Amino acid sequence: MSNEEFKPILLGRVGQPNSHTLSTYKADGGYQALAKALSMKNTEVIDLVKASGLRGRGGAGFPTGLKWTFLPKDVTGPIYLCVNGDESEPGTFNNRVLIEEDPHQVLEGIVISSFATRTTTAYFYLRYEYGRCYRVLKDAIDEMYDNNLLGKNILGSGYDLDVHLHRGACAYICGEETGLIESLEGKRAWPRIKPPFPAIEGAFRRPTVVNNVETLACIPHILNKGADWFMSMGIPKDPNNARDAGSYGPKLYCISGHVNKPGLVELPMGISARDLIDKHGGGVWKGRKAKAVVPGGISMGFMSEKELDTPLDFAGPGRVGCLGLGTAAVIVIDDHTSMIDVLYNACRFFAHESCGQCTPCREGTAWSTKILERIRQGHGKLSDIDVLLEISSSIGTIPGTTICGLADGAAWPMKTAINKFRPEFEEYIKSGRKSESKSLVGAH
């Protein structure tokens, strides 16, 4: 199937009148997938999702069905599903659109996934900033209780499920799954040391699955149309790489920054960044050229202009030195923009959002921001460049110095900006220029 013929699946109902209501969702075939799932064994649902090749859309790309199988088989007592709606990665807004426009699609995915994992209580952790999403979801959940789609004996199947909305309080770290769990439990959102993984000991010390909103929205479609249909889209696994799990299914790509038409586009996995920008983002604005592009949220780092033919599937961005596909949130930076200002912005974000638990992250993100601020003031030293690189290779789970991946996300913009744009950094430092950007210095 070519991208031109592709008809949106997850966004299929977006823009239709009253797309957020139960009646229009049902009229469009909604909750048939749930009825089908409830007629199956829960293990059959897991097998189907495993066979579809669905990988988590929240950033790490872990195979969803496989994650579900990590729950202990012989467990008695509650299992929890936590829906990760803490979408906060700069550039990313697909969960917001999915929830505001088609909440029942997400909620149907939640009920099916809860059934598959034998969950009887699901917590929908939603970032505070999504107030409209909160109100839309609240109404949608009420509709479900009124129509026997939640609560006791759902659709006469004997299966019970409650879904509770839980609002965050503006902290990026709550998107990390164990940070989310700690926050849900009413504590500071300090990520946990793993193992134990949440599947063994998660929320309230019980087996827990944490899934992203977009991931869950895929589930009803897999139930309706099957694993083969899902695998007919995207990039197959690399036969020469046993560790590649393939990149199947539709994907929501967020396009922002210096393009003519920022927005959300759904396509089969694997479109190139260049095609995405030119064919779906209206091209780079003001007739300019792209200088750098973030492939999947700021924590993935930067691609240079000559790397834009890289396919945006799970494996693509890694081949050009980026951390991965991340959230597939593409941020375009034009050739009039200073990479020093861009990197400063990225570092400042991570310094602001570091939870402070691990010293390398807390100090590394803060000092990299201070160094870049000094460079922007015209007082940089050439040796600063290597100090930044040293910081970037010392913080994170990849060097093994932190509990969670926030610091890896802070490191990759530094590594890729400096490795790919080093002459610009050197020239800027030598010139002693002051940045023209209006960033407020020292703002908390």
Partner 1 sequence: MSELSDNAKKVIEDHLGRYPSKQAVTLPALHIVQEEKGCVSRKAIKEIADMLELSPAQINDTLSFYGFFRTEEDPLGKKRVWICRSLPCMLRGGEELLAELCERWGIQPGQTTPDGQVTLELAECLGACDGAPCMLVDDELSLCVTADDVERMVRG
Name the site residues for partner 1 (rule: CB under 8 A).
Answer: 78, 87-93, 95-96, 127-132, 134, 162, 164, 166-172, 183-189, 204, 206, 254-258, 262-264, 294, 298, 329, 331, 333, 337, 341-342, 345-346, 349, 352-353, 355, 437-440, 443-444
- Whose Cβ is closer to partner 1: residue 133's or residue 235's? 133
Residue 171 or 315: which CB sits closer to partner 1?
171
Residue among 262 and 364 whose Cβ is closer to partner 1: 262
Please report where in the chains the tokens 């599903």 appear, as a residue.
Answer: 81
| Nearer to partner 1 (CB atom), residue 53 or residue 326 | 326
| In the complex, minimum distance from the CB of residue 399 to partner 1, in angstroms, rounded to a whole number | 24
Least separation in angstroms between residue 430's CB and partner 1 is 25
CB 76, min distance to partner 1, A: 15
Minimum distance, C-beta of residue 31 to partner 1, in the bound complex (Å): 24
Q: Which is nearer to partner 1, 36 or 352 (CB)?
A: 352
Least separation in angstroms between CB 227 and partner 1 = 31
Which of 170/193 has CB closer to partner 1?
Answer: 170
CB of 228 to partner 1, least distance (A): 33
147 burial type by CB count under 10 A (0-12 exposed, 13-18 middle, 19+ buried): middle
Q: Smaller CB distance to partner 1: residue 72 or 131?
A: 131
Q: How far is the CB of 51 from partner 1 (least distance, A)?
A: 32
Of 345, 339, 352, 350, the closest CA to residue 385 belongs to: 339
Phi/psi for 9 (5° steps) reads: -105, -60
